[in-house]
Structure formats: structure tokens, C-alpha cells
Structure 1
Amino acid sequence: MKIHIPSETGRLKKVIVHTPGHEVSLVNPELKDELLFDDIIFEEDAREEHLDMLDLFKAAMPEDGEILEIMDLARECLQDADIRRGFVNTLVRELPYENLAAVQKDLQKLSADELLRFVVEGSISPSHHFTLHPAPNLLFTRDLAAVVNDTVILSKAAKRARARESLLMELILKNSDTFSDVKNRIIYTDRSQSIEGGDVLVASDKVVLIGMSQRTTFSGMMGVAGQLLSGNVEHVLAVDIPKQRSSMHLDTIFTFSDENECVVFPPAIEEQTDNVVELSKDGDLIVSKKHSSLKNALETLMETEFTFIRCGGDNRTTQFREQWTDGANVFALAPGVIVGYERNTKTFEALSEHGYKIMDQFDFVDEYEDKQFDYKKSGKIAISFQGHELCRGRGGARCMTLPILRN
């Protein structure tokens, strides 16, 4: 299967997601912070909201578009007994703090479905007393990897709560037929480093942004940047952002809505200076150049003017409120065709002021589910979808998607 992401906004053709399952119902309020959730989620409503979002994707994608469930990909890999056995050994080796060696023999006896349930929900069986915390963040597939052109960056989670997800993604990259063509083009991160997919944005086939955030370390960024620059990427923009929960990844404060338009959280993007360093290759050396701002860096390297659209509009309070509910975390289905949570009304007003037609998810599906959507004729559209439960986990449309093929 072809894997290729040359930009953030090319028409979406293949994407990996995870519709929330029982794991989100296993989040104890006393453990929610440890599990990286700001609130507990009602499973049934979250599932419905997520499936409605996928219906929206299907209406916008081409006929040969494909939505892949990460659980299905993992389950297919684990059907092979040798792969299943090796994966158990990997879990025991890479998660020493979980004391899995005590139940290694029990895990080796599990079927593919049972082992997958253990990894995601934390239980071996109702009668077995050994349990782990659930992995509710699997919902945010974006953070598990990033595709840049025809190269895949395997993320290394910064927090223990997401370590099993990283191992699950590695299992898929190494064993799934979906990634058979790129197995020799996977970038790995050293054990002591961390980088997550929410910090990697592909401005073009030559320019990639990497956030240095709460979850991506300087060494993780440099390790990945060096390997990208040894390929066909010419410039990596290292963007230093606040190291805090509310802006855990670059895509929580900055996303592309069109080829030269972005939705930004002003306090962390427009009001920051001297926080962007351009990395490029000069022979065998990596050289650096400081830029006064992210806008300046993009306009210099992309040789075009950029428009920054403010999350929350011009009002300071609504900027903070709507960034908190992922107003800056939009996801492009095609150039100028984006989706985001409907609750961020001031962000949608700002998009409207910049020429975007505003539609809700149901109107969009009604109009395009039975006919081919042509983004070249539709003009710019900002589509709102419901996510009152989904947003409790602190992630928007981009967080919940891992694109692997765009036009």
C-alpha cells in the first residue's frame, strides 16, 4: 500500500483512527491525571460522536479513500502466533515497571483478541487478578507516528501512560501489510528521547515543523530532524513552545487549514519571538538559522504570504477558552476544507471572516454522501462536528487522526 504525506492539506485518502472503546470507561477519576485525561468520558456518547466524525470523513474522501482502525491493524498482525509471542516478549522487556514477567506465561496463552484487550484495557480475563491501567489515549492516534513524504517517524511516548500505544504502533509498522512498502523507511527514536506525532507538521515536501514541547524533547527533535534532512526534506523548523499541559503539542496551538493559511493560538504563536530555528544540511553538517517568528520562517521558506487565523477570534478570553477545547486543532480533509469542534464558535466566526463557508457535519454529509465531493469546486469550507465527550480527553480532530496517504 502506498504511504505518502507531502503536506498537511493535500486531499485525504487514507487515515488511521481509533473509535473509543471500553478502555475510556475504565478511567477512574482518581487516576485521570495520571492517565493524561482532564475529565472522565461517557463511552457511548464518545463513540457516537467519533463515528459521526468518520461519516463526515467518508463523505469528503474520494471513492478509493480508506479509514483504517488501529485495532483491526493490530489484530491482523497478532493472528500470527510467532508475532504474538514476540510481542509479549517486547511488552515484558520494554515495560519493566509493570512487572509483566510475573504473568508472561499467561500472556503467551492469549488469543490475538485477548492479548489486544489486555494491552488496551489492562485485564487478562475477568477471573485473573493481574491488571494494568487502561490506555484511553489510543483515541489520539496522531501521536503514535508521523508520515513525512514516504518516511514514517515512530513516536516515542514521553509518558508511561502511553508507552503501550507506542509498542502497538511499532508492532503494526513492522508486521502489517499496510506498511510493507515503507519498512525500510522508518525513523526510530532512542530510548532516552521522546517525540510525539502531534509535534510534527508537514508544511510541504521540503519543509517540516517539529515542536519542542511538553512531550517532544530537544534531543528527540534533533534525532528525527537529522534523519529527515538526510532524506529529501530540505528544512526543519524547530519551534519552541510552552512546556505545559494546555499546549502539550505544537498542533494544540497551530494547524494548517489551507496551503498558506493556519489556525493559531495568538499568545503562543503570534506573540512569541525568536523561538524558531531553521535546520538544514550543509554537506555532512546540520546548520541552524534563527527566525524572528514562525510566520516569518514559513513565508521565507515557502516563498508565499501566510494568513494566521486566530483561534477564539480577537477576544483574549475566548482565545484561551477555545484553545482549551481544541479550537486550534483543526484537521484538513483537502486544501481549505477543515473540520473542528462545533463548540469553538468564535474560531468558526474568524474562519468565516477569512472566506470559509461554515457547515455542520450533518448538512455536509447530507449534501455529499451520495455524490462525489469536489473541493476544487466547493471553495473553502469549515465543517463543525459535535465532540462534547471527545474533547474531555483534550484532543481535537487532528489529534484523533493519523493520515498515511494524501494527494
Structure 2
Amino acid sequence: MKHPINVTSEIGELKTVLLKRPGKEVENLTPDFLERLLFDDIPYLPTIQKEHDYFANALRNRGVEVLYLETLVCEALHTPEIREQFVEEMLIASKANINGAFNQLKNYLLEMTNQQLVDKVMSGILKSEIPSNQKTHLYELTEDFYPFYIDPMPNLYFTRDPAASIGNGVTINPMKRTARKRESLFMKYIINHHPRFVGHDIPVWIDRDYNFSIEGGDQLILSKETIAIGISDRSTAQAIEKLAVNLFENNSTIKKVVAIEIPKCRAFMHLDTVFTMVDFNKFTIHPEILGKHGTMRIYILENGSDGAVQITERNNLKEVLMEVLDLEEIVLIPCGGGDQIAASREQWNDGSNTLAIAPGVVVTYDRNFVSNELLRQHGIEVIEIPSSELSRGRGGPRCMSMPIYREDL
């Protein structure tokens, strides 16, 4: 049987991708809890769904198989035992074992169909959903203090972050922010229980229980032998080194891990918000990450002769890319054309966050017209998707997609 996971580059022809259609979890955002749930604004659900459907159809029109996270999770919960284990793990991850509502919520969820259960876990459980005569704790009665037993997960439509494909394996990522920690649990159940994946040897290069955070938006597969990872607000140096060790020790094809420091702020959340690969030797970049005189702090991790990780430092991104990809020329295409205003505006709306679906073919947000035109001038085919509501979550087409299978280059 064909292995279900294969991602050995950023630009190989995309064959299968995992998406999450925005749902009720987005409507459960309110102004009081935006910061807690990592949003700056509240998307309008009917429009964000239309935009996301347009995105999915744009991929299908290019021959890409689109899988949905919510569907795969439902199909993975195919026995009573798996369902119960999933509910218990999700409630523990949601701190329901601490706040005292564990048993009420477990029974409430297990009475639902799989679809209802998954939708409810993703959208959040309000205190008002449990009858008053079943409430035995003070915090349950103070609904005006905080309305949720279990928070909604509005960031789920950014499927790139909770898990990432590397070769024939995956990282099931320990997420940085509390609002997103539960998201990787869905992929754990899909990999372990869904018929599409069960029975295949799928290495887990790092799992969600590791003590230091790393997220998929910081993981870029430059080639079959090289991966770039951002040392960012969301991904730690400790987790990057742990991932490198696991890749080197477990017969992965990865020979080099290029760790790139980027500013640790919300605007530069992950490496892919400021840097993506669009062709064999072409990359989008937000000029501000280059630092003074174009210098950066970059580290190349390799497997040393004694089994220890060997680390060497570099400071020029272009030179590093030419070195690890064995290329004589690298083209860095600046977000917003490098203009002070356009670059800042379009980077905020993920002008550098492109999803390559083949070499030289990318999906982008339509609103980033300066960056899109510049990509076209560099010979890149640009497929634009509407983005008035999708962009409110501060993530672009790459953020919204987890490639499962790409053709090798």
C-alpha cells in the first residue's frame, strides 16, 4: 500500500492536504476574550466559510485531494473505547479535571453522535448548556464571570501549526499558547486510529507531551535533506534541537536543520509569516527579519561523528540557502516590494505566507496586491483567494493548510 504521508519539500506538487473549515468556534469569540483566544477581531462566520470554501475549491481545481480535520477525527472515533478515551483526554487537556465538571461533561459529550461530539469540543461548551440541577460547584453558577466550561478553538482553521509532515512522519506539536495546546490532540487520534493511517509505519518525530514548544508554522521543508525551523515566539531552541536529534537518530532523510532566529512578536509569529519557498530558488521574505546589513543569527545543526549534534553559526540567509540547497543563485522576493508602508501592511495580512502547490505556483490572499504582482514579475503563477475575513485570524494560505502528501522533486 502507498504510504499516506510524504512531504519532502515545500514546493513539490501537492496531492493531499488537511484543512479545517471555520465553524461555530469562530462565532463563540467575544470582545472580552479575544486576547485569551489569540484573535484581534471577530470574523463573520458566513463570509469566512465562503472564503474558506473558495480556498478548498481552488486546491481541488488543481487536482489536490482536500481532507477535513473535523471529518477525519469523527472517522477516527470508531469504537466506544476510542470515543471515551478521546473525551477523557480532551477534558483533562481542557482542565475539566481541575474545575470539577469532569464527569458531567464526559457524560454530556458521550451522549452525542461523533459529529456532534467533535463539533462541540471544537466550538466550546458553555456553562449554560448544563442544567442547573447538575451544577455542584460555585464557579459553575457564576456564568457572568466566565461563560465556558471548555474554551472554543477558533484557531483550528490554521491546520499548519498543531502537526506537520516531515518525510513519511509527523510532528505532533507541543503548542506554546494555552488556547492552542489541545489542538494537536486531534492529530494524535487521527494518526493512531483513522483507517487511512493505521497499519503504516508513521514516525512521530516529536510529540505533544514534550516540555518545550514547537509549532508547524516554523517548520519549512527546504529539500529531502534539509529543514528550516524558526526560533520564534512559538518555537523554542530546546524543541528544535530535540527534533533534530530525533530526525538524525531515526533513519530520517534529513541531514541538516537550519535554525533561523526571527523577532519574537505577534506580527512575526512563525517563520512562515515572514519567509516561504515559492520555487526551486525563489523565496518570499519580509525585509525586516534581515536585520542591519542583512545579517541574521542562523544555526546549522548536523549529526556529528560522535552522535552528538554539531552546531555551526552563520549570519547571511542567502548564503545559507545557497549552501544547503547547492544552488548558485537565490532570489529573495520582498513582501510589499520592500516599501516601508506596503511591506508592513501586507506582512500583517500575510503577504509572505504563500502556499506552494507546485514549483512556481502559489496560493495567496488577494488583498496583498503589491506582493502578488511582484511574485508574477518573478515568473510565479499566483492563485488569489478572497481574504476579508480569513485574514482576521492573522494567518495566510500556508497557515491554513497541512500538506499530507507531495510528489518528490
Provide the C-alpha distance between the structure 1 equivalents of 2:319 and 2:402, rounded to a whole number of angstroms.
28
Change (3 A) 1:309 1:220: same
- Give the 3-state SS of the residue equivalent to 1:313 in structure 2: helix
After TM superposition, give the deviation of residue 92 of structure 1 in Å. 3.6
The CA deviation at 1:345 is: 1.0
Q: Is the 8 A contact 2:275 2:352 kept in 1?
A: yes
Kindly indicate whether residue 139 of structure 2 is the aligned counterpart of residue 116 of structure 1: no
Q: Any idea what the Cα deviations from partners look like across 1:25-46, whole Å, max 9, x if unmatched?
A: 1101111111011111000000
1:100-125 per-residue CA deviation (whole Å, 9 max, x = no partner) reads 65233542433322321231111279
Say if 2:204 is the partner of 1:204. no
Specify every segment of 5 or more residues in structure 2 that has no aligned partner in the other structure, as ranges: 132-147
Kept in 2: contact 1:158–1:215 (CA 8 A):
yes
Note the 1:8-407 alignment, pairs <5 A. Answer: 8-61=10-63, 65-96=64-95, 99=98, 102-108=101-107, 109-111=110-112, 112-123=114-125, 127-128=129-130, 131-180=149-198, 182=200, 184-189=202-207, 190-230=209-249, 231-269=252-290, 271=292, 272-283=294-305, 284-304=307-327, 305-356=329-380, 381-407=381-407
Deviates more, 1:121-130 or 1:107-116: 121-130
Change (3 A) 1:235 1:31: same
Q: Deviations over 1:162-216 (max 9, x none)?
A: 1221112212121112222555411234442111100000000100001111111
Report the AA paired with residue 344 of structure 2.
Answer: F
Partners of 1:244 and 1:183 in 2: CA distance? 37
Instruction: Give the structure 2 partner of residue 375 of structure 1.
Output: none
**How far does the alpha carbon of each residue in 1:300-356 deviate from its partner, in whole angstroms, 9 at most, with x for none?**
111112111011003111111100000000001111000101111110121122123
Q: Residues 207 and 321 from structure 1, CA distance in 2 versus in 1: closer, same or farther, beyond 3 angstroms?
A: same
Question: Quick one: which amino acid aligns to residue 215 of structure 1?
Answer: R
Report the residue type matching 1:219 in the other structure: Q
Matches of 1:29 and 1:285, distance apart in 2: 49
Superposed structure 1 runs of 4+ greater than 6 Å apart? none
- Looking at structure 2, the residues matched to 53 and 263 of structure 1 have their Cα atoms a distance apart, in angstroms, of 20
TM-score, normalisation: structure 2: 0.89
Q: 2:88·2:106 contact (CA, 8 Å) conserved in 1?
A: no
- Shift of the 172–66 alpha-carbon distance from structure 1 to 2, 3 Å rule, reads same
Provide the rounded CA distance (Å) in 2 between the counterparts of 1:56 and 1:248: 26
Give me the whole-angstrom Cα distance separating, in 1, the residues matched to 2:119 and 2:127: 9
Q: Percent identity?
A: 34
SS in 2 for 1:388: coil
Residue 40 of structure 1 aligns to a residue whose secondary structure is coil
Query: Structure 1 residues 221 and 181 mapped into 2: Cα distance closer, same or farther (>3 Å)?
Result: farther
Hey, what's the Cα distance between the residues in 1 that align with 2:93 and 2:5? 28
* Match of residue 369 from structure 1: none
| Count of aligned pairs | 380
Question: Whole-Å Cα distance in 1 between the matches of residues 94 and 105 of structure 2?
Answer: 16
SS at match of 1:60: coil
Q: Do 2:91 and 2:102's aligned partners in 1 also have CA atoms closer than 8 Å?
A: no
Paired with 2:290 and 2:186, the residues of 1 have a C-alpha distance of 33
Q: Does the 8 A contact of 1:151 with 1:182 survive in 2?
A: no
- How far apart, in 2, do the equivalents of 1:325 and 1:159 lie? 21
Tell me if structure 1 keeps the 8 A contact 2:96–2:150.
Answer: no
Using the alignment, how far apart are the partners of 1:86 and 1:124 within structure 2? 22
Q: Distance in 1 between matches of 2:312 and 2:210?
A: 28
